[in-house]
């Protein structure tokens, strides 16, 4: 979505600047990436502990 915002020359929102919209997209990308990394780490931990669970 950020790429699409960056490609447009005209105003995208009456309340936010183009820079604000791009920052918004980057913030979401970082948050989702961090959440995915945390989920992977938790899945790995669960997989390692699986033999200990009766």
> For 1-54, how does the pLDDT look when each residue is reduced to its tens digit (9 = 90+)?
778 777 876 666 777 888 888 898 899 999 999 999 999 999 999 888 877 666
User: How many angstroms separate the CA atoms of 25 and 27, rounded?
Assistant: 5
Task: Give the per-residue pLDDT at 53.
Answer: 62
Res 16: pLDDT: 81
pTM of the model: 0.66
Quick one: pLDDT at residue 39? Answer: 97
Query: In angstroms, how far is CA 39 from the centroid of its own chain?
Result: 13
Token pair belonging to 12: 């995208």
In this predicted structure, what is the pLDDT of residue 54? 62
Determine the pLDDT at residue 11. 67
């Amino acid at each position: 979505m950020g790429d699409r915002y960056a490609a447009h020359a005209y105003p995208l929102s009456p309340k936010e600047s183009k820079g604000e919209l791009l920052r918004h997209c980057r913030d979401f990308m970082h948050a989702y990436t961090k959440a995915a990394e945390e989920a992977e780490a938790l899945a790995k931990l669960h997989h390692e502990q699986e033999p200990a669970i009766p």
